[in-house]
A and B are shown apart, each in its own frame.
Chain A
């Protein structure tokens, strides 16, 4: 891995590195949740009637639902009437970077993701989402030439309503779960991506999310469609400012892969985890699901989770097409008082479907880190295979690691393999590295990055570097 020394050198401060607040004026709707608010959001976004109906139906379903309590996490009851459901930076459209609010550019610069730099250096097309509205989309021309649509969700609603209408809710239905229903009612923006038949995206598509205006829950909606025989690698990363109040985040990501299509979705998640005593921090209740609809299609989730106070997240694959494949590679780090309940669901429906699950949990401090995974082999999934490996690494003796594997097999020809290990960083390893001049913190960082390597290797290069940095930062002060 290049740059790992630099990374190790950079990791020196122990306060949350990306914690700052930018002062961009926000255009908000009043606090609270009711039909009027939903109508207001829909109107502000100039949405078609069918989408308003969709939201209202979702809202009615949500009202009938109970907040789930089965996850291995604890948090105070959320007051859904005390949340602002829509806020958008006031100025909306820009033709060049000169028109963008300098303070917003400054924010991106601090995050090291200035659009200019991104354009020139990394060749990554960035759809940067500040709060809820798309600010600037780059590389549109290059993508347009190939017929790739990569834009904010709102733009897609205006410009490609037929695609949105066809696929919205087709993977995660309105009433799928409590937080997905809430999202379906109040989602404000997000990203939309359509890869036409036979097209391979020339660059990694990337979105940076950032929670900004105080007390604004973020409800992104992402929809990615890989048409037949297409390929896309999609990156999502995020950081957030320090806050004292808890912030709710309930995103929904839907992926559809048609025949022979492959969609690779990578996340580096680094939201504010709360301070050392567990105060503040983001609640991250996300529904991510991919439908491998066509035969030979493939959906791959890779995630590095270091942030949030509470994480509830199970990127899943529904393997419907024959010979379709699903993958889940995850590193979840918890420190201090963080709680993470994360994992995946692999639902095998088609014949010869195959899934791979590699989960690496790392817990330190007083944190709790749970893996929850479901592998389901339906009666038709002849010769389906799953391999799951769930490893836990403990730093210190006050943290917890838990594994909840659920396996349902309804046919005899399928094979499910599950392996699980729990280990600790050994004194011997630390002493060995220290004897070579490496201090304890860097030694731990090396060991942890080594432990997570199988997953980190799945990330695109620039993301892998960022992920290594985050692992090191997240574990600062976890020993000694």
Chain B
């Protein structure tokens, strides 16, 4: 579904992604772990199409399409979803209005008519229930005055609404108390299907107590230094990131 080959990305002449490869297949959940400043968010944003970065080398294919040639909104409409590490507030724009615009843009791309108001409201109600968020949140402006936990839950709620092929969740677990973490994990598990996939970007292995990944990758200094199954996360937890520094120095 997602194939990244030899990706090198820089910003202001500083290379951040230094030769990155990844293959994600339908039905899989991948976890990418790594210390702060290693390029995880940069990777997520480059996949989503943020323009600040310069792709120096490599390719990204999504369902056979060359992502690097597509606009941000086109990628999204094709079913790529990014759960933001720091979701931004949009004052005065209600969650309802935002989601309706978004859902209908994606429907339009698929050649479908806009969802009638009653069906849309029913969809909202269904997804709120699925994720377990209350009504008040969707009546407010997008992320405006939301707590850290609410923002992250809101990202998962949007993921549920848009039903993407591939979700990249950037540190959706960080800063959450255990209850909020469970809400997020529960959401991801519920949305898991044979025909979609998820990439979890995380700093801690804590989230992986609740979501069982098929593959775990350890990222360090702009590239993947180790890949394995869920046991790798545990190993990383016990040994700490210090271990990686040595690893990468010798590799």
A residues sitting closer than 8 Å to B (CB atoms) are 1-2, 4-5, 8-9, 426-429, 431-440, 442, 446-447, 449-454
Contact = CB atoms under 8 A, between A and B. Distances in A.
A5 B92 contact: no
B141 interface: yes
12 contacts: A1-B94, A1-B97, A5-B100, A429-B88, A431-B48, A431-B50, A434-B73, A436-B158, A439-B105, A447-B90, A449-B92, A450-B141
Nearest to A457: B92
Nearest 3 CB-CB pairings of A with B:
A450-B92, A450-B93, A453-B92
A437 B105 contact: yes
A437 B90 CA distance: 16
A390 to B, nearest CB: 16
B98 interface: yes
Interface string B90-127: 11111001101110111001000010010000000000
Overall SS of chain A's interface: helix
Interface stretch (B3-11, B76-84, B194-202, B229-237): B76-84
B162 interface: yes
B72 A431 contact: yes
Q: Which of A2, A426, A432, A453 has the most CB of B within 10 A?
A: A432
A1 B48 CA distance: 29
B91 A432 contact: no
B24 to A, nearest CB: 18
Given A436-B102, A436-B158, A438-B105, A426 B93 contact: no
Contacts of A440: 73
B87 interface: yes
Contacts of B84: 432, 435
Given A4-B101, A5-B101, A446-B97, A433 B90 contact: yes
Nearest to A440: B73
The interface size bin for chain B is 20 to 34
Interface of B: 48-50, 52, 71-73, 75-77, 81-82, 84, 87-88, 90-94, 97-98, 100-102, 104-106, 109, 114, 117, 141, 158, 162
A11 to B, nearest CB: 12
A451 B98 contact: no
Contacts of A9: 114
A454 B104 CA distance: 25
Contacts of A428: 88
A195 to B, nearest CB: 33
B88 A432 contact: yes
A2 B76 contact: no
Contacts of B109: 437
B72 A446 contact: no
A2 B91 contact: no
Contacts of B48: 431, 435
A434 B72 contact: yes
B101 A8 contact: yes
A453 B105 CA distance: 22
Contact of B101 (A2, A431, A438): A438
Given A2-B117, A431-B72, A437 B141 contact: no
Given A1-B97, A438-B73, A446-B101, 10 more contacts: A432-B84, A433-B90, A433-B102, A434-B72, A434-B76, A435-B48, A435-B49, A436-B98, A436-B105, A442-B105
A429 B87 CA distance: 9
B104 A5 contact: yes
Given A2-B117, A432-B84, A438 B90 contact: no
Contacts of B94: 1
A451 B93 CA distance: 8
Nearest to A360: B92
Nearest to B96: A1
